Amino acid sequence: MKNSILLFLCAALLFSSCSEKLPVPADKDATRETVSLFRSMWELQQKGVMYGHQDDLMYGYNWWYEEGRSDTKDFTGDYPAIAGFELGWLELGRERSLDSVSFVQISEQVKAHYKRGGIITISWHANNPLTMQLPDSLKPGRMAGSAWDVSSTEVVRSILPGGENHKMFNTWLDRLAEFFITFKDDDGTPIPFIFRPYHEHSGSFFWWGTNICTDEEYTALWRYTVEFLRDRKGLHNILYAYNTDRVASLGQYLRGYPGDDIIDMLSLDMYDRGEVFKSELDSALNFVTKEAIARKKLTALSETGGRRRGGGWWTEIILPVASKYPVGYVLTWRHTYGSRFFRSAGQAPFPQDFLDFYESGKSLFLKDIQEPDVYTRE
Ligand code: BMA
């Protein structure tokens, strides 16, 4: 009897110290399901790489919003583990995004994917809050007023506290919060998700890009946003993903990094733009994932895509490189009729070797993460 009590105590001690060691989200008040998701993803990234696809549930290679449909499922028989959604123009109070997707339908698909045990990630190509207000005659060029309008370096400063667009920016964040509040399951439990705003910071092609604002302004923008959603709006179901475009060093990667106390994931976007891609990706994933693990953060290759039409991109580049490191997921961007990336020959939504990637024991799709449930892990 004594022995079995001792054994039980040892086991309990071992168990509690094991689960104590598992990292937690930056938000100290993160909901139970959000903590579970973070811990599940932490464990999963040691096991394999999840597949994610932007707008997978909203439209595809040759169809538009058919409930339950997905290019990934059509092609492989399974949904992606990670479903990506985009919020651009939600800030303007529009019903549809800059990609013509209905926000009501996004909310429905967030619920559907959560219900089937999948993971949600959200991006936000927010309009340029400063230049979008200019009269047409003063608007600079084709991208005028959009997220891609980099004609002014005053934008971030103008929306921070004290700036002339600060009030307007608060209404944008209000709209975001109102939308996030609709992410609830049938019992009213908030649905956890990954939020990746102000992405690809190392590039200078968005108004929050590295040469378009100072590092301090970028940090302040991030901190203001998180504090607004978390503290003012009481949203505790968000995992925040820091993100850059291609980078050559850790120093470059961390420029403007907003802080471990608000960030949950260190992610990287890198598209294949030529022969050097494989070695550049290898090098960047090496230092980004090392840093993430040291800081007890999740990781992802949160946007990528191949240009080469020939086979082998999935099985000769993405899979071998990503599975060398603890990369949580690899997400490919949206399927549009005119997409430059992944336009495979013929009618298939993916190139043929995507099937080999799917069948590999190292890739994880929805069925691979349904059991055990990522939202109930202690
Ligand atoms: C970009 C492109 C755009 C799209 C935007 C937001 O990379 O795909 O066409 O509007 O993402 O989804």
HEC secondary structure over 166-205? HHHHHHHHHHHHHHHHCCECCCCCECCEEEEECCCCCCCC
Cα 376 to Cα 26, 34, 80: the distances in Å are 19, 9, 20
pLDDT band at 1 (very low <50, low <70, confident <90, very high): very low
pTM: 0.93
Ligand 1: does its nearest atom lie under 6 Å from the Cβ of 99? yes
Ligand 1: does its nearest atom lie under 6 Å from the Cβ of 125? yes
pLDDT band at 306 (very low <50, low <70, confident <90, very high): confident
DSSP state string for 192-240: PEEEEES--TTSSSSTTSTTTS-HHHHHHHHHHHHHIIIIIS----EEE
Residue 345 has pLDDT above 70, yes or no: no
Per the CB < 8 A criterion, the answer to whether 301 and 327 are in contact is: yes
The average pLDDT across 334-340 equals 68
Q: Compute, in angstroms, the gap from residue 31 CA to the centroid of ligand 1.
A: 31
- Ligand 1, closest atom to CA 86? 12
The residue nearest atom 12 of ligand 1, judged by CA position, is 86
pLDDT band at 143 (very low <50, low <70, confident <90, very high): confident
The average pLDDT across 215-240 equals 98
Residue 105 has pLDDT above 90, yes or no: yes
The average pLDDT across 205-229 equals 98
Q: Compute, in angstroms, the gap from residue 134 CA to the centroid of ligand 1.
A: 23
Q: 226: Cβ–Cβ under 8 A, 6 or more apart, which residues?
A: 240, 258, 262
Taking alpha carbons only, the member of 85, 112, 79, 103 closest to residue 184 is 112
| Mean pLDDT over each residue of the chain, to the nearest integer | 92
The average pLDDT across 218-243 equals 98
* Count, residues in the chain: 378
Residue 154 has pLDDT above 50, yes or no: yes
Q: Percentage of the chain surpassing pLDDT 70?
A: 91
More confident position, 378 or 187: 187
Ligand 1: does its nearest atom lie under 6 Å from the Cβ of 215? no
Each residue of 16-57: pLDDT tens digit? 444 558 999 999 999 999 999 999 999 999 999 999 999 999
Q: Residue 292: what pLDDT?
A: 98
The average pLDDT across 298-319 equals 89
Ligand 1: does its nearest atom lie under 6 Å from the Cβ of 334? yes
Q: Residue 17: what pLDDT?
A: 44
The average pLDDT across 93-117 equals 98
pLDDT band at 137 (very low <50, low <70, confident <90, very high): confident
Q: Residue 38: what pLDDT?
A: 98
- Rounded Cα distance, 278 and 285, in Å: 11
User: Facing residues of 329 across strands?
Assistant: 50
Each residue of 171-213: pLDDT tens digit? 999 999 999 999 999 999 999 999 999 999 999 999 999 999 9
- Ligand 1, closest atom to CA 334? 8
Q: Residue 311: what pLDDT?
A: 74
Task: Count the alpha carbons within 13 Å of 135 in the hemisphere toward its beta carbon.
Answer: 1
Residue 9 has pLDDT above 90, yes or no: no
pLDDT band at 141 (very low <50, low <70, confident <90, very high): confident
pLDDT band at 339 (very low <50, low <70, confident <90, very high): low
More confident position, 3 or 78: 78
